[in-house]
């Protein structure tokens, strides 16, 4: 079970007990945020690198294509977006074995019958890696809840990465990413959906960061 904390996930971690359990029991934690990296290093926690989930997804697909690992992709906004992402990945990584895929309908996680059918679908394919892109905290909770029933070796939530790969959503240009402004680019292009997340909820991280600075200075 791999998790990739960014600022939003850190906020959710402190508000959602189930999500916190997923992170506390994860096998591998990979930082997803350049801003978090800088904050952590400033506070003396020397973390050497980060990689976003959107970059980790194609990176692992590349490794899978080289080493002969099969993958199953669960998610995507639509079936069309998922199929386009699969085509783009196969064109990019010639030996990639996408052994199965499925785009579940909205609210599927609340229907145990649908969940069992999805599990059966995955188990019939027996992938080495299961990627799930339906957004956090839903994807992490679902993977954690059912991973012991699923015949796969690696579980990873990838958020909007499927839609980025397919072109269904446009990702921020590289310069925006390097300036730690990918969140702003997404907010500009989808303010109605992302305003509360980025401006209201995630701004708490900066208050917490200042508290950590003052706490550290006091202890010193």
- pLDDT tens-digit series, residues 89-133: 999 999 999 999 999 999 999 999 999 999 999 999 999 999 999
* Structure tokens belonging to residue 70: 């099969």
Please name which of 95, 73, 94 lies closest in space to residue 84, comparing C-alpha atoms. 73
Neighbours of 138 (CB within 10 A): 15
Angle ∠(53,199,202) on CA atoms, nearest 5: 50
Asked if residue 178 has pLDDT above 90, the reply is no
Enumerate helices (H) and strands (E) in the chain, giving the number of each. 12, 6
Which tens digits make up the pLDDT trace of 46-70?
A: 888 899 989 999 999 999 999 999 9
pLDDT digits (tens, 9 = 90+) for 1-11: 999 999 999 99
What whole-number distance in Å separates Cα of residue 132 and Cα of residue 137? 11
pLDDT of residue 84: 96
Instruction: Report cis status (omega within 30 of 0) of the bond before 30.
Output: no
Q: Which domains does the chain have, with CATH numbers?
A: 2-172 (3.40.50)
Confidence of residue 220 (pLDDT cuts 50, 70, 90): confident
Rounded Cα–Cα distance for residues 214 and 220 (Å): 10
**Average confidence (pLDDT) over 200-220:** 91
């Amino acid at each position: 079970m791999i998790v990739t904390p960014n600022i939003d996930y850190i906020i959710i971690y402190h508000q959602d007990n189930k999500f916190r359990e997923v992170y506390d029991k994860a096998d591998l934690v990979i930082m997803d945020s350049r801003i978090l990296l800088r904050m952590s290093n400033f506070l003396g926690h020397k973390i050497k690198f980060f990689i976003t989930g959107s970059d980790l997804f194609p990176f692992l697909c590349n490794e899978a294509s080289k080493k002969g690992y099969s993958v199953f992709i669960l998610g995507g906004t639509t079936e069309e977006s998922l199929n386009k992402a699969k085509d783009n990945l196969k064109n990019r990584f010639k030996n990639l074995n996408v052994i199965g895929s499925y785009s579940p309908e909205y609210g599927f996680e609340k229907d145990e019958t649908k969940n069992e059918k999805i599990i059966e679908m995955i188990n019939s394919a027996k992938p080495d890696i299961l990627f799930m892109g339906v957004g956090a905290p839903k994807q992490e909770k679902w993977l954690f809840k059912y991973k012991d029933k699923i015949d796969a070796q690696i579980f990873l939530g990838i958020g909007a990465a499927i839609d980025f790969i397919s072109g269904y959503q446009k990702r921020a240009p590289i310069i925006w990413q390097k300036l730690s402004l990918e969140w702003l680019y997404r907010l500009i292009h989808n303010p109605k959906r992302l305003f509360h997340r980025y401006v209201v909820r995630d701004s708490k991280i900066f208050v917490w960061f200042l508290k950590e600075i003052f706490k550290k200075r006091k202890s010193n």
